[in-house]
Amino acid sequence: MTDTNVHFPDVSRFSAVDDIEDPQQLIDVLDVAKHLPGFGAAKTQLLDRLGADGASSALDVGCGYGADVIALAQRLKPDGRAIGIDASESMIAEAQRRAADSGLNVEFLVTDAVALPFEDSAFDLCRIETVLQHVADTERAVAEMVRVTRPGGRVGALELDPGTMYIDHPDVELFDELRDSFIGSVVGSMARRVPRLFAEAGLIDVQTDAHVITGNSYAYRLMLAHHLDQLCDRPEVTAERARRWWDTLDAAAESGHFTGGITGFVVVGTVNSEE
């Protein structure tokens, strides 16, 4: 059973990683979340749709600790260049540490997604993953990705839709409140808006695919523990009710009957070469 004395981070704080007391907590969250069943297939489809194999240059916006930049570089042609940018100095430092012995042509920069420091048409492809829900000016971020991608190049996103989060739990009412609280902490409708944002930014041949990403009891603690703590300030959500909620999840996991997940959307479009 998971230790309930562990302090779980507020996972909505990815827009301000360096402002929290222990940024390593959010790095650990990424390590857990991005290895959930279903995530790998979505990530692979994104790279396939982007045409990563044999490309010369690629940009990962909001690269976190850099694992996806390394994956990109491995699929580019031998002298290809992959760059990752992130607003967090802590994330970029971790990315540089992890990539130090990779032998790949990768680079990491601390910069803002809405003001990319690259010339127009600088990259063959550009990707973003689970970042747009944390960006205030999403239209500007998408426009910047389109700007730095060459005509005929591809721009892609993988975003999770918290509104589709599901779980088998007898306390349905509390789960609904937790999901609503989580949605309110991020741009909760972002994933389903991405195809429209891509089209409005001028991308053509926009393709969208949905992937079910299944979770586990620990992943749900990472996502929801902070929100349950906040709900416990209300009379109807007692500490005992919260304890029973987690105990039920843990028991389901121990018995092999845990059921929960979320939908992720892979969206890819092409930069119009006729403009």
Delineate the domains of the chain, giving CATH numbers in brackets.
18-270 (3.40.50.150)
pLDDT at 7: 66
Q: What is the mean pLDDT of each run of 10 residues along the chain (275 residues)?
A: 56 78 82 89 96 97 95 95 96 94 95 97 97 92 98 97 94 94 83 96 98 92 88 88 93 94 97 84
Residue 275's pLDDT is what?
59
Enter the tokens of residue 98. Answer: 């992890």
CA-wise closest residue to 70 among 101, 113, 46, 102: 102
pLDDT of residue 5: 47
Cα 161 to chain center, whole Å? 10
For residue 270, give the nearest of 150, 114, 140 by alpha carbon: 150
The pLDDT, as a whole number, for residue 93 is 95
Q: Which residues, including other chains, have CB under 8 Å from residue 136's CB and lie 6 or more apart?
A: 15
